[in-house]
Chain A
Amino acid sequence: MSTMAATSAIERELASVAGNSWVSQGSSELVEINGIRPAWTVSPGSAEEVAGILRLAQERDLVVATAGGFTKQQVGGIPERVDILLQTERLNHVEHYDPGDLTIGVGAGIRFAEMQGKLKEHQQWIPFDAPNLSAATVGGLLATASFGPLKSGFGGLRDFCIGVQFVTADGKIAKGGGRVVKNVAGYDLMKLMIGSYGSLAVITRANFKVFPRPRQTRTFVCSFPSLQEALAFRDSMLKSPLTPICLEIASPQAPEYLCDPPTPRDPDEYAPARPVAPPSTDWHVVLRAAGSDNVLGRYRRELGDQVSRELEGGAEEQYWSWVSHFEYSILERHRNALVIYTHVSIQNTGAAIQALERVAPDYNFIPAMLGRAASGNLVMGLIPLAVGPPAAMEYANCASAFRALLPAGSSAIVRHCPKEAKGHFDVWGSTPSDLTMMRAVKQAMDPRKILNRGRFIV
């Protein structure tokens, strides 16, 4: 059989599973994964169709990449190849929502914001504010273990997801957990799926516990002349009776990305008289509190004159959406920025931030950082200098130098860098967990490595 004939045979088989109109050769112009274009795109309409596609892929050794809202496809290593791009867009239904039970079940392809909108009708929510929620899908957010500033107060998806249905590489439809908020029957497969980057199975459905939505919130921005003072304040908050729902720390350069992008300046404009604000050197700790007027009054009293700015209403919402969107604000302005997610223990946040501030200038980057001060999840942007930008190899060297300075037990995942740099180093880095057992899990779930080959740590 000629290659051409084999190609059309695969397309026919995909069409026989998902229907003609849901299979196409190649992918739309915009879709590529670190420069690799998928050979076929298919949008199954059910878990059974996902199973059919994966069985076909396994038989023919085709590599499958799962895609939701295309907000994080560039994260990870360069795929060896992508034969089938499996889009979850049609698995986008609310399967059940019981406001009285505070649970919801949805298809993996539903946009998170759409689900959140349904919950809002009943004054409920999932306290989750990762970036790009109007585009990102539930399946993609789970697969990438996404998080936002609310993680400080409420925890992450692993704390909300109570059930998951997925399809294994050999086409078995399986589930873990269930529809109730407390359940220990069988292995906790939700934990395994969350953060597995599509490397173990294709997530098709998920159930969540939901929460009453706070009636009002207020945000208090506190400024400090040094990192040490900001961290000391953070520590005093952790010991105080206050229970903020967000507790962020932001470096002096971060506020530049917590606003709408500046209007592009006419390069020919010459305006020496225009005032230039001196660069800020302040570190910020930002608290968001929820509760009655009484509760918010208590915050105001206890924080006292440490508060430099108080935000409420639309301005507050806007501020937190910028915080969520931070890494994307950097990338929208500097498409060659290096973005690193650093996970550390609470007391190692200082060491990690110092490591960033120290390493960045050595490789011609400007550091900008913010993150969850109470849980140690830091989003670090390294912005290339406009003059003398770093070479591809320097991204790798910078990441290595940064990792070398981190305390033991930390993780530093390169979320974004130019794809030319990815060949020079491991974007995932080391892990305090057992890599051998991760590989054993991968082997158990996807022995032929058809799922996201070459993209994840296993």
Chain B
Amino acid sequence: MDSSVLRLLKKIAGPDAVLDRPEDLMLYEYDAGVDKSRPGAVVFPQNTEQVSRVLRLAHEKKVPVVPRGAGTGLSGGAIASKEAIVLSLSRMNRILEIDIPNQRAVVQPGVVNLELSNATAPLGFYYAPDPSSQKACTIGGNVAENSGGPHTLALGVTVNHVTGLEVVLPDGRITEFGGKAQDSCGLDLAGFFVGSEGTLGIATKITVRLTRLPESVATLLAIFDTVQDAANTVVAITQSGITPAALEMLEGWLLQAIEAAVHAGYPLDSAAVLLIELEGMKEAVEEQAEAVRLACMNQKAREVRRAKSEQERQLLWLGRKTAFGAIGRISSSYYTQDGVIPRTKIPATLAEIARIGQKYDLKIANVFHAGDGNLHPLILFDGRDPQKTADSRLAAKEIMSYCLSMGGSITGEHGVGLEKMNLMPLMFSDDDLQVMMRLRNAFNPESILNPQKMLPEAHMCREVTAPLPKAKVEPVPELHL
């Protein structure tokens, strides 16, 4: 990294807010995905103005900037090359406002997802999107990835819960999209920005919807002797006219790993379990719980248990949310997939995943959001074995191709990032990608911000050589140190 850039970064954010020694940078060379690269520097701005000045500096010096939240992303979205600055938003972690009468909160991007719900729960409200990493991941990162989570089945993903954003554009200009009102005049730029994976701008203030805590919650664990029965039950429940708050599936042998790790109370001898949650008014929840129980029994469930206390409920969820961690106990490396298929194709897809696992002699664990068809096959492999590492990527690609052939998607909630960029042409045509590229260029014409992410390289080159429309830039007032 150019020493003059480092000096200026320190001047903007303070000497203790810039990292450039190799031993410090090592910590920032990966996220929770599989790609790795050491950045040139890391900067920790503490307010919007500093973010703006860092971007202006980067814009002037043509240094790429990669925004980063907690680094829990699974698609390499926060991975930066050695020429790039990682802009970490972890120090912008204040909840700025909790506005219950308007059912809104305004937060800085570095606020941890669960902390917002913890702060609003005493007031009877929470922030609905709940990625499994919610104890660590930040709301800024959730906005970038349009994160989901188990409870997004009924309530929607991040984009359904964001109404306003303060954004710093790649040239440093500070702007706003939307606000506290649900709707506003003109194009829905806030909606478009969510899920743009840090390629359009950096959100520095986020206005989110708060959801009233449900009066009643029922958590059921349905236990099955075959994976097929469990998969059929998912279809039966969605067709029965009930939309559960969450509908998760975990495969049998994985339960043993989870039990060994956290003692969640899962059965050790079943082929699959469904974790089903219903919430709302207590009258409705009781009726739906009974209907769901019957649907499970009709599909040959061995047993349907219901959490008798909040503690039992939390334990069941702990098992689900730490499933990936539990895998770490039995395999040195694993590769998490994020394919989506139409719900009725779950049985066929699980059979295909098993076939692919056998073909490459890889163990594949299935833990996923069954209710919306969002699969997370975890491919277990030995990371020290280059052959197995390569095989795991081939198996992943085969699984993704199959999902696409079923009319699905390559990513339901983890994002494209670096990891799935080259799968984009399997899902989108040249014209689709060119339109996306044009839009990216309207915000980020020189690709200073999060370059080489989401949109595949070949398309990038082609479009960049064409004459590009440039956004009119308004000067940002100079700030005094």
Contact A411 B185 (CB under 8 A): yes
Contact A444 B185 (CB under 8 A): no
User: Which B residues touch A346, using CB under 8 A?
Assistant: 101-103
Interfacial residues of chain A within 90-127, with CB under 8 A of chain B in the complex: 98-103, 123
A409:B187 contact, CB within 8 angstroms? no
A21 at the B interface (CB under 8 A)? no
Q: Which of B185, B239, B344, B372 contacts A181 (CB 8 A)?
A: B372
Q: Does B146 contact A (CB under 8 A)?
A: yes
Indicate if the CB atoms of A194 and B441 lie closer than 8 Å: no
Residues of chain B in range 294-315 having any CB-CB distance to chain A below 8 Å:
none
A441 to B200, CA, bound (A): 12
Q: When A295-B281, A436-B175 are in contact, do A413 and B438 touch as well, CB less than 8 Å?
A: no
Q: Are B442 and A432 within 8 A (Cβ)?
A: no
Residue of B with least CB distance to A124? B241
Q: Are A182 and B340 in touch, CB under 8 angstroms?
A: yes
Chain A positions 150 through 175: 1 when the CB is less than 8 Å from some CB of chain B, otherwise 0: 00000110110000000010001111
B281 is contacted by which of A159, A180, A235, A241 (Cβ under 8 Å)?
A241
CB distance from B230 to the nearest CB of A (A): 16
Contact A212 B186 (CB under 8 A): no
Contact of A243 among B184, B191, B280 (CB under 8 A): B280
B15 adjacent to chain A (CB < 8 Å):
no
| B179 close to A (CB within 8 Å) | yes
Whether A192 touches B187, Cβ cut-off 8 Å, given contacts A176-B432, A178-B408, is: yes
B200: nearest chain-A partner, CB-CB: A187
**Beyond A182-B412, A211-B243, is A102–B343 a contact (Cβ under 8 Å)?**
yes
Chain B, residues 154-196, CB within 8 Å of chain A (1/0): the string is 0011011000100001000001111111111111111110111
Q: Whose C-beta in chain A lies nearest to the C-beta of B430?
A: A172
A237 to chain B, nearest CB (A): 11
Task: Please tell me if A447 contacts chain B, counting CB pairs below 8 Å.
Answer: yes
Measured CB to CB, the closest approach of chain B to A126, in angstroms, equals 14
Cβ of A87 under 8 Å from chain B: no
**Closest chain B residue to A201 by CB distance?**
B435
Interface: A376 (CB within 8 A): yes
Task: Report whether A191 and B185 are in contact in the complex, using a CB–CB cutoff of 8 Å.
Answer: no
Known: A100-B235, A182-B374, A343-B182. A291 touches B195 (CB 8 A): no
Task: Name the contact of B187 in the complex, choosing from A172, A174, A180, A441 (C-beta under 8 A).
Answer: A441
How far apart are B429's CB and chain A's nearest CB, in angstroms? 7
Select from chain A the residue with minimum beta-carbon distance to B410: A185
Task: Please tell me if A440 contacts chain B, counting CB pairs below 8 Å.
Answer: yes
Chain B residues, CB < 8 A from A438: 186-187, 189
A431 to chain B, nearest CB (A): 4
For A433, what are the chain B residues with a Cβ–Cβ distance below 8 Å?
A: 176-178, 184-187, 189-190
Asked if residues A100 and B238 are in contact (CB atoms below 8 Å), the reply is yes
CB-contacts of B252-289 with A (<8 A): 280-284, 287
**Which B392-410 residues have a C-beta within 8 angstroms of A?**
407-410
Compute how far the CA of A191 lies from the CA of B432 in the bound complex, rounded to whole angstroms. Answer: 15
Stretch at the interface among B39-47, B87-95, B383-391, B466-474: B466-474
Q: Are the CB atoms of B471 and A376 closer together than 8 Å?
A: no
Report the bound CA distance from A432 to B438 in whole Å: 24
CA of A377 to CA of B181 in the docked complex: distance in angstroms? 9
Contact A343 B283 (CB under 8 A): no
A4 within 8 A of B: no
A231 to chain B, nearest CB (A): 10
Residues of B in contact (CB 8 Å), total 96
Residues in chain A near residue B413, CB distance under 8 A: 182, 184
Q: Which of A61-108 contact B (CB under 8 A)?
A: 98-103
In this complex, the member of B146, B195, B345 whose beta carbon has the largest number of chain A beta carbons within 10 angstroms is B195
Determine the chain B residues whose CB is within 8 A of the CB of A181 once the complex forms. Answer: 340, 372-373
Q: Are A348 and B281 in contact (CB under 8 A)?
A: no
B184 near A431: Cβ-Cβ < 8 Å: yes
B189 pairs with A437, CB closer than 8 A: yes
Instruction: Look across to chain A and name the residue whose beta carbon is closest to the beta carbon of B438.
Output: A444
Q: Whole-angstrom distance between the alpha carbons of A186 and B196 in the complex?
A: 7
* Contact indicator B407/A188 (Cβ below 8 Å): no
Chain B residues closer than 8 Å to A354, beta-carbon distance: none
Q: Indicate if the CB atoms of B185 and A187 lie closer than 8 Å.
A: no
Find out whether the CB atom of A195 lies under 8 angstroms from the CB atom of B428: no
Q: Which residues of B contact A102 (CB under 8 A)?
A: 238, 343
Q: With A184-B146, A186-B416 known to touch, is A238 a contact of B241 (CB < 8 Å)?
A: no
Q: Cα distance A123–B238 when bound, in Å?
A: 12
Interface check A429, CB cutoff 8 A: yes
- Judge whether B412 and A184 touch: CB under 8 Å: yes
**Cα distance A213–B80 in the bound complex, in angstroms:** 47
A432, B181: Cβ atoms closer than 8 Å: yes
Task: Known A182-B372, A182-B373; judge A409-B424 contact (CB<8 A).
Answer: no
List CB contacts (< 8 Å) of A406-440 with chain B: 409-413, 428-440
Q: Which residue of B lies closest to A180 (CB)?
A: B340
Q: Give the chain A neighbours of B212 by CB distance below 8 A.
A: 238-239, 241
Instruction: Tell yes or no: A345 within 8 A of B by CB.
Output: yes
B476 at the interface (CB under 8 A from A): no
What 3 pairs across the A-B complex have the smallest Cβ distances? A191-B191, A241-B215, A212-B241
7 contacts between A and B (CB under 8 A): A184-B413, A185-B428, A191-B159, A241-B282, A292-B287, A345-B181, A458-B186
Binding site for B on A (CB under 8 A): 98-103, 123, 145, 155-156, 158-159, 168, 172-176, 178-189, 191-192, 194-196, 200, 211-213, 215, 235, 238-239, 241-243, 291-292, 294-295, 297-298, 343-348, 375-377, 409-413, 428-441, 443-445, 447, 457-458
